[in-house]
């Protein structure tokens, strides 16, 4: 027997063994009143504040501003690194100079 036929037989057996779920009418489910909804919100503090934030599309001007801010931040970081390197070099030179005497 080919693998395909065996798989089909197994699938048929699994379908026959699967439990049948009873269907529920939507009319049987009670609808929540506005008071009940309000009570649920009171007891669930995050239900009041949970809202989806829609991401706004940026205008070309705002995109340029953001890019400039990122560039400035990178430059600031590089400046700080350079200043630290200079101070370390200065301290090393001072130590070497003092070691001579």
- Between CA 53 and CA 6 the distance in angstroms is 51
pLDDT digits (tens, 9 = 90+) for 25-47: 666 666 667 777 666 666 666 55
Residue 47's contacts (CB-CB under 8 Å, 6 or more residues apart) are: 40, 41
- Domain membership of residue 36 (yes or no) is no
- Domain membership of residue 1 (yes or no) is no
- Domain membership of residue 97 (yes or no) is yes
pTM score of the predicted model: 0.36
Write the CA distances from 72 to 63, 82, 83, integer angstroms.
Answer: 14, 15, 16
The residue segments making up the domain with residue 95 are 59-101
- Domain membership of residue 12 (yes or no) is no
Residue 48's contacts (CB-CB under 8 Å, 6 or more residues apart) are: 41
Contact 41, 48 (CB under 8 A): yes
pLDDT digits (tens, 9 = 90+) for 49-60: 656 677 788 899
- Domain membership of residue 41 (yes or no) is no
Domains identified in the chain, total number = 1
């Amino acid at each position: 027997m080919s693998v395909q036929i065996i798989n089909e037989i197994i699938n048929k057996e699994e379908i026959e063994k699967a439990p049948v779920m009873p269907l529920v009418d939507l009319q049987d489910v009670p609808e929540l009143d506005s008071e009940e909804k309000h009570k649920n919100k009171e007891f669930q503090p995050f239900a009041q504040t949970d809202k989806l934030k829609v991401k706004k599309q940026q205008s070309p001007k705002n995109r340029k501003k953001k890019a400039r801010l990122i560039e400035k931040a990178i430059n600031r970081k590089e400046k700080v690194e350079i200043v630290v390197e200079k101070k370390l070099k200065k301290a090393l030179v001072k130590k070497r100079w003092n070691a001579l005497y």
